[in-house]
Amino acid sequence: MGGFAEAVRERVRRARAAVAQAQQEGDAYTVAVAEDELDDALRTARGLGLELPDAAAEAEGGEPA
């Protein structure tokens, strides 16, 4: 599952970045859409039992918690 797991982790990273960008832009609709994508990506990752860094650790280049 190595390649698939990494793809899910990348989806989470991109979704977190999209949420942050939308919040910075102050666009409520885009924030809601980005948060929905993030929720779905996190649900998928958890369903697979993947360990993910929290958002703050990820921003600093940290490892999974």
Domain coordinates in residue numbering, the chain: 2-53
* Average pLDDT of the segment spanning 16-39: 97
pTM for the whole structure? 0.80
Residue 21 has pLDDT above 80, yes or no: yes
Computed over every residue of the chain, the mean pLDDT equals 88
- 31-42 average pLDDT score: 97
Q: Cα(29)–Cα(60) distance, rounded to whole angstroms? A: 27
d(CA 7, CA 31): 22
Confidence grade of residue 54 (pLDDT, cut at 50, 70, 90) = confident
pLDDT(65) > 50? no
**CA dihedral sign, ordered 57, 61, 64, 65:** negative
